[in-house]
Structure 1
């Protein structure tokens, strides 16, 4: 990894060790709030984002940070995603519901965006210490147990009975939700982490074949989009066929392990009735 890649990875490990893992399975009632039904925020989310924000800004002078919790408190911050200015996306604890429930399927996600494109990305899984990283045009890599390997998402099976999918339809318009659910009925193997960090890591490493989304908050999708793309995968709108960009905040999206599979799954979803 280049120095900027290493610097951000080190920050993510440090914030997990100081602000997140000490609170895992140790949360008190006053440490948890519900922003909306089923949408949790904890003291770990807030403290981790506050810790990361100034340190990321220091790494790239003149950059801004678009963090999930800051944007929740001040929605106007989302305007950052529509600009060409350099900015960081931060999801301090992705999969907060899992974190609250004591499940290990949560992660820390960071991306660096410049001129509207994701340039570098990191997904860190604090419990295992595994890390996925990508730099635009330089590939995606998985760091685990002291070893580093290049990630290749590979090709999905032709046999639908061997496909593993996750179908997030919350926030989708009714017509798209109906189509996705009808297609999902034809996929016997469904497995959802309820965590974008784990979704994208799974797609990029070939353990999942497809995932659908609609609410495209940059902190949830910018990191995984680059890691998936550099591994050979695709994240694209079902509605207009355009590749995902951080400025896109809502649209039915399909993530798949490879181009051919994306086309195949997208056609099946669009024709479902």
Structure 2
């Protein structure tokens, strides 16, 4: 389920270096490796509630391209109804404000939350996300190396596509993605989202203090995905003292939190390198 932490955090400084293109019908932030470097494959980021224009998500895309040598796409999956960046300040004021001020900031937060959830509840958004991956697979071919990295809202979509979801290419089924990563996923159903029907290896990065994923549920996920036979064996990494959103919206001025966010980036890149090696 969604929680206040899904809409809180920190906005990062930086100027993304990629470009905006139209890809399979969607506006998409695209960035590739440094000049002269050959992409190892494609990463599609399915973002948190703040969407494709949120600077943190674009900087993360740059990091995957720079540190992993991948072509990275961050599409506009939310039909212009991403949570507005201003919700971060509204949620901070709602949580820390006085009793008198809380109703004001609650109302302000709801003006961003309601359009987001009405347009992007999973039942509505998943067909859009799935259609993009179908078109991408058809365009790139059955042998292309395609990975998906999903955060919060986006994590659920990665998990749904990991359950034997294919598209026909030359009369044969091809998987929409070869490997998945999810950071602090929301809306998870356990054990359903990690059940035996998974046909894609998925790596999880979870904050120890994530209210949406209590310890018993995390251990249940770990037990299921780590017991799968190779090459479908998954992994679960729990980050001590980290809360929901740390992969994307961690406060970069706090040294320990910044290190955890960087470690999660490395976890994702290492996982994709392992499963997409040439």
Give me the TM-score of the superposition, normalised by structure 1.
0.26
Considering Cα pairs closer than 8 Å and 6+ residues apart, tell me whether 1 or 2 has the greater RCO.
2
